[in-house]
Amino acid sequence: MNPTRERIGVLGGTFDPIHIGHLAAARAAIDCAQLDRVLFVPTGQPPHRPAAAASADDRLEMTRLATAGDQHFGVSDLELRRPGASFTSDTLRALHEVHPNADLFLILGWDAARLFRTWHEPDQVRRLATILVVTRPGSGSPQPADLEAAGLGGKQVIVCVDSTPDVSASAIRRDVMSGRAVDGKVPPAVQQYVAAHGLYAG
C-alpha cells in the first residue's frame, strides 16, 4: 500500500432517494478496503435505466444532506453536469484527472456487479479502478466462479462481505406515494427534504 496515494471509493447511483443502505455500503467499503473517503456520484442519465423520478438538483441535494455529517464522505456532481448518457468509464477517467494522486475503488452491490460483463468498456473500468463488491441482503456472497462469470475474475477485485440494511429506493418511493412512514429508511434530513418538496407524492 502506497501511503502517499489517497484511496478513494466511488459510489454511483441515481440516489432517488439516497437511503441508509447506500450509506452502510460506503462505510462497509471504507472498513473493508481501508479507504480514505468515499465520493457519492449521483448519475445523470444511466443508459440502462429509466429516468429518475426526482430531478437532478433534488437528488444532488438529498445526497449532500445525507452525507454532510461524515467527514469521510464527499459528493461529486460530475455526472449531472455532463450531457448525454452516463458511462462509468467516462466518470472514472474524469475523476482521475481531478484526483491524479489517488487510487480509485468502484463500489458496487453484487446485484449490479453480476451484470458487469455487459457494461460499456468493462475492461477500461477495471483498468481505471479496483472493483469493490459489497454484498447486499438477499443477493448472497459471490463465489470465484460467480465473479468469473460476471467478468470480475482475477486480481483487482475485492469482495466485502458485510450485512447492509435491506432497503430499496423503489420501495421508499412507493411508501411515500402511499403515505406510509419511511422513518429509519432514509436519513432524517432526507426525509424532511422529501416532505418539504413533495417528492414522490404521486
One pLDDT digit (tens) per residue for the chain, 202 residues: 556 799 999 999 999 999 999 999 999 999 999 999 999 999 987 666 677 899 999 999 999 999 998 999 999 999 999 887 789 999 999 999 999 999 999 999 988 899 999 999 999 999 999 999 998 766 667 888 999 999 998 878 999 987 788 899 999 999 999 999 999 999 999 999 999 999 998 6
Burial of 200 (0-12, 13-18, 19+ CB in 10 A): buried
| pTM, to two decimals | 0.93
The Cα–Cα gap between 100 and 107 comes to 19
Is the CATH number 2.60.120.10 carried by domain 6-196? no
The Cα–Cα gap between 59 and 76 comes to 12
CB 140 within 8 A of CB 110: yes
Three cell numbers written together for 48: 440502462
The Cα–Cα gap between 57 and 77 comes to 10
